[in-house]
Amino acid sequence: MSKVLIIDDERPIRSTLRDILEYEKLKVEEAENGKQGLESIEKNDFDLVLCDIKMPGMDGMEVLKKIQDINPELPVVMISGHGTIETAVEAIKSGAYDYIAKPPDLNRLLVTVRNAMERKDLVKETRTLRKKISKDNSSPIIGSSPEILEVKSMIEKVAPTDARVLITGPNGVGKELVAQQIHQKSDRKKAPFIEVNCAAIPSELIESELFGHEKGSFTSAIKQRIGKFEQASGGTLFLDEIGDMSLSAQAKVLRALQENKIVRVGGEKEISVSPRIVAATNKDLPREIAEGRFREDLYHRISVIRIEVPALNERREDIKTLARHFLEQITRENGQAKPDMDEASLKALESHNWSGNIRELRNTIERLLIMSDDAITKDLVEKYI
């Protein structure tokens, strides 16, 4: 049975709407103010919300914004007895499914309710189909060990959502590839995937890089610059090596994530942004927090979902598959014949300590290809590994 929440400070209106909706075999819950309504939404799975615009305390437009933060797919129909065309347009622009004036016309109300819930079902069905299709596509993440299968499973689960993801693991394990897969399997895949290497940007430039700057805001600002948050709006912003970001930059990123708004350096206007945040680090962030080098509040903001990418030494059964994959890839890129690689040479690779992880393995395969004649042998591996 579909479930509807009515948020309105007027009891007679709530009762009237309840009677109409229950007659249509819908389950109805009520809230007499915005705070109560938001608490219900956090605890329950509703199919539709009917929300009054004019309410004491928190008004309906503010409630609408907070509902979108909690569940952006939940359709919200705004209702008001003091409405104008301007109010209706503002509500729709702010993300409402529709707008109905009080007292509600029975036929219009029922048509709107049915259409809103049908749209929600269609969105859910489309997401399910996309997820099914994405599972059928081959993944560029190579391997079949239990550890890497768990990573692939996590990607499938989290990609269709807008949840923020923190990817952890040592250098060279492929954290960027995981981030790219999350983007490619999401509803945002047609929008930009923007990467920022937080470790490579000097602390004095990170704010300009992330939020942009206005012309003349500092000595070398000869023209306006659009920051990464704006570039990634509607898409995915990948904050690589976020553990190396300065505390001052962390504070500004936290504010941007809290408010979904940024201000360019040297500017005054607030700019709304909506990137999905995927972050990665090779550092132990809880330890960084304990030692005062990382903000705990930012950690909780970016780590709704955590994906741990295993070191290559923890998934040795994938080494042979990866070696063959890199052998095929590099020879194809270079237009050269693929040399033989016997089982003994693969065993030698499998037993090596891969402190540099997948990046080291690929470099090793490339080096062996350069140094080999017609075949890659165990002796060659032991000499150049």
Q: What is the pLDDT of residue 335?
A: 87
Residues 223 and 334 grouped into a single domain: no
Residues 38 and 180 grouped into a single domain: no
Exposed, middle or buried, 236 (CB in 10 Å: 0-12/13-18/19+)? buried
pLDDT tens per residue across span 172-200:
999 999 999 999 999 999 999 999 999 98
Average pLDDT (127-156) is 77
Length of the chain equals 385
Residues 336 and 300 grouped into a single domain: no
Residues 302 and 155 grouped into a single domain: yes
Q: What is the pLDDT of residue 195?
A: 96
Percentage of the chain beyond pLDDT 90 is 73
Q: What is the pLDDT of residue 119?
A: 80
CB 383 within 8 A of CB 368: no
**Banded pLDDT at 222 (limits 50, 70, 90):** confident
Residues 224 and 97 grouped into a single domain: no
Question: Residue 366: CB partners within 8 Å, gap ≥ 6?
Answer: 326, 330
From 310, 341, 360, the end of a domain falls on: 310
CATH of the domain at 336: 1.10.8.60
Q: What is the pLDDT of residue 238?
A: 98
Q: Is the pLDDT of residue 132 over 90?
A: no
Main-chain phi, psi angles of 168, to 5 degrees: -120, 160
pLDDT tens per residue across span 10-69:
999 999 999 999 999 999 999 999 999 999 999 998 999 999 999 998 999 999 999 988
- Neighbour-count burial for 104-129, b at 16+ CB within 10 Å, e otherwise: beeeebeebbeebbeebeeeeeeeee
Which structure tokens are listed for 267?
Answer: 């500017």
Which structure tokens are listed for 300?
Answer: 């909780």
Residues 345 and 196 grouped into a single domain: no
Q: Model-level pTM?
A: 0.65
Q: Is the pLDDT of residue 341 over 80?
A: yes
Least confident range of 214-223, 280-289, 325-334: 214-223
Q: Is the pLDDT of residue 218 over 80?
A: no
Q: Is the pLDDT of residue 248 over 60?
A: yes
Residue 4 CA to residue 110 CA, distance in Å, equals: 12
Residues 194 and 89 grouped into a single domain: no
pLDDT tens per residue across span 272-294:
999 999 999 999 999 999 999 99
Which structure tokens are listed for 168?
Answer: 């952890």
Closest to 170 (Cα-Cα) out of 44, 5, 356: 356
Confirm whether 135 is domain-assigned: no
Give the count of domains, the chain.
Answer: 3
Residues 170 and 37 grouped into a single domain: no
**Banded pLDDT at 89 (limits 50, 70, 90):** confident
**Mean pLDDT taken over the chain:** 91
Residues 203 and 54 grouped into a single domain: no
Closest to 76 (Cα-Cα) out of 97, 100, 93: 97
Confirm whether 133 is domain-assigned: no
Q: What is the pLDDT of residue 123?
A: 74
Q: Is the pLDDT of residue 137 over 60?
A: no
Closest to 165 (Cα-Cα) out of 79, 239, 85, 219: 239
Q: What is the pLDDT of residue 324?
A: 95
Residues 148 and 280 grouped into a single domain: yes
**Banded pLDDT at 117 (limits 50, 70, 90):** confident
Confirm whether 134 is domain-assigned: no
CATH of the domain at 47: 3.40.50.2300
**Banded pLDDT at 8 (limits 50, 70, 90):** very high
Q: Is the pLDDT of residue 135 over 60?
A: no
Owning domain of residue 196: 140-310
Confirm whether 56 is domain-assigned: yes
Residue 339 CA to residue 168 CA, distance in Å, equals: 35
**Banded pLDDT at 130 (limits 50, 70, 90):** low
From 310, 334, 349, the end of a domain falls on: 310
* Cα dihedral sign, 252-256-259-263: positive
Confirm whether 120 is domain-assigned: yes
From 76, 100, 128, the end of a domain falls on: 128
Residues 337 and 293 grouped into a single domain: no
Which structure tokens are listed for 219?
Answer: 């000595």
CATH of the domain at 219: 3.40.50.300
**Banded pLDDT at 224 (limits 50, 70, 90):** confident
Confirm whether 296 is domain-assigned: yes
Q: What is the pLDDT of residue 131?
A: 56
Residues 43 and 88 grouped into a single domain: yes
Closest to 113 (Cα-Cα) out of 97, 102, 93: 97
